[in-house]
Structure 1
């Protein structure tokens, strides 16, 4: 499926019922993608931190068996919805003889200070990837289950496969929460976040359950493999738990998050900030809420 035949071309994920001043629009009046936080400086810092948490969990930046090719050089790597570009900056520094390309609908990635083997392109995956077929040795995408609707995944996945070279790899990384040992504050946070996403047509339960199957149903790929890490958020999870706790607090402290979640819960922004700043820390000392970060990858025939 090429970019000229995109079934979703021009159809952006519409954000509805947001609190005042949250909705951002493009010049053509189309609502921006569900990455409603992407232009917030504090959220960019949150993305940087979460990259290194995931790298620590897996002791690597990827799980696909592509390392030897990267070391040898000459590979072309694409990161779709690259956000702040942290994964690419790390990768392009470690593998200087390969070439890296990052793509996102909004330019929050570094545009000047970057390695010479790294380039960024401002484009929207929902318009189709602006590359020919069989272009990249490795195609990577991270943290999109809270952004794309199921029918959008059904467009995006074939695009990822299309631009991958035969013998190349496609890898997706996502994080999900596990429903155990949750206190009332954590329950409020994620219940309100789910409510917000459902209004955007994003059902996390559907995507989480179907993503691996959807990837496996693509044409011209081999078996889908999975690698995952489960960890506790908070002081009961050790050093990684404390880092994840800090990252969660930072995410919940971004102004747009505060506006959205306080509105969904039905409390004032100040009450929400107090709940996060004081109540959440106390709650996490007594509970062991767990998350799982997983990677699924496959090879193109």
Structure 2
């Protein structure tokens, strides 16, 4: 297969509560978040590093279209004709909207901490407020396809096994769970320049304060699925060019990554005693390096099936 194909807990189970908690190293409000570049809104009571505001909503929509172009599709798992679809950490809901349009016979649910923006979704789409770290408000065996994408900056490392177990719990026998992630492990980004390496080191240190590991998660997706009892597991690492050297897709992905880096410039500056202008200059140098070094953005997709006898 080409690489580019792409709170009411169940009464029958105890949700992943102990394992799905922010690990030590982060306390709410520990990192001051000054508003030095306009007004960026961060969630103080969550480990999530990125903002929750209109600017981030716009970036997430842009990111969706860029990723869809890069992957030439919205998913990889052989899902057939699902009756119910769940998108965990749905963001603006754009991925879920498109699945609702592709499968009009299906009920599609997007779950996130907040409703990010007001919009008119497809009639078969529904938003539910929830926090995967507190367990999913659905019964066992509720969905034929469960999707989760790019939550590596939201889920503490210690919580990942419990989170994936929770995704598997709400998946119907024969249904599929798909995970899409990236990270900042320098060996995955090579070749890249010194500014890129410096920024990723700062970002990784900030993430570690909140129990988040930005290196190992993309490499562990298949193991998480296996430990959750899934079978027919497929793991596919892939990289997307960053910068004009990569054509239209490279330019789109570079713009998205540059804006994502800017979105955490204030917390990085606050934590490490640097001016935000200094951090923004570092980001600008890094983005120039992506063309110079022909850097690629590493991703990983993993999907697995819940056994029929589960």
TM-score range, shorter chain: 0.7 to 0.9
Deviation at 1:284?
A: 2.9
**1:243 maps onto 2:277 in alignment:** no
Contact 1:8 1:155 in 2 (8 A): yes
| Segment drifting more, 178-187 vs 189-198 | 178-187
Answering whether residue 66 of structure 2 is matched by residue 56 of structure 1, we say: no
Q: What are the within-5 Å matches in structure 2 for residues 1-301 of structure 1?
A: 2=10, 5-8=14-17, 11=21, 14-15=27-28, 17-21=30-34, 31-66=44-79, 68-70=80-82, 75-110=83-118, 112-177=119-184, 178-219=188-229, 221-254=230-263, 257-264=264-271, 266-277=273-284, 279-301=285-307
Rate the CA distance shift 1:253–1:7 in 2: closer, same or farther, 3 A.
closer
2: CA distance between counterparts of 1:11 and 1:286?
41
Q: What SS is found at the alignment partner of 2:294?
A: coil
For 1:11 and 1:179, locate their aligned partners in 2 and report how far apart those are by CA, in whole Å: 29
SS in 2 for 1:285: helix
Q: CA deviation at 1:2?
A: 4.6
Which residue of structure 1 aligns with residue 4 of structure 2? none
Matched pairs, number: 286
Tell me by how many angstroms 1:282 deviates. Answer: 3.4
297 and 282 in structure 1: CA distance in 2 versus 1, 3 angstrom threshold: closer
Gaps of 5+ in 1: 26-30
- Residues 23-56 of structure 1 show CA distances to partners (whole Å, capped at 9, x for unaligned) of 956xxxxx53222434221111111111122212
Distance 1:273 1:290 in 2: 21
Counterpart contact for 2:142–2:172, Cα < 8 Å? yes
Cα deviations by residue, 1:170-202 (Å, 9 ceiling, x for unpaired)? 111112352312112211221111000111111
Deviation, structure 1 residue 145 = 2.0
Note closer, same or farther for the CA distance 1:53–1:80 as it changes in structure 2 (3 Å cut).
Answer: same
Contact 1:182 1:289 in 2 (8 A): yes
Q: Which whole-Å deviations, capped at 9, do the CAs of 1:3-42 have from their partners, x for residues lacking one?
A: 77335279557446413448956xxxxx532224342211
Aligned to 2:5: none
State the 1:126 CA deviation: 1.6
> Structure 1 residues 95-104 or 31-40, which shifts more?
31-40
Separation of aligned partners in 2, 1:290 and 1:197: 22
Give unmatched runs, 5+ long, in structure 2.
1-8, 36-40
RMSD: 2.5
**What TM-score, normalized to structure 2?**
0.83
Contact 1:176 1:291 in 2 (8 A): no
Q: Is the 8 A contact 2:147 2:177 kept in 1?
A: yes
With over 3 angstroms needed to count, the CA separation of the structure-2 counterparts of 1:299 and 1:7, relative to structure 1, is closer
Distance 1:216 1:11, change over 3 A: closer
Q: Which residue of 2 aligns with 1:28?
A: none
TM-score w.r.t. length of structure 1: 0.85
**In structure 1, C-alpha distance between the alignment counterparts of 2:265 and 2:33, rounded to whole Å:** 12
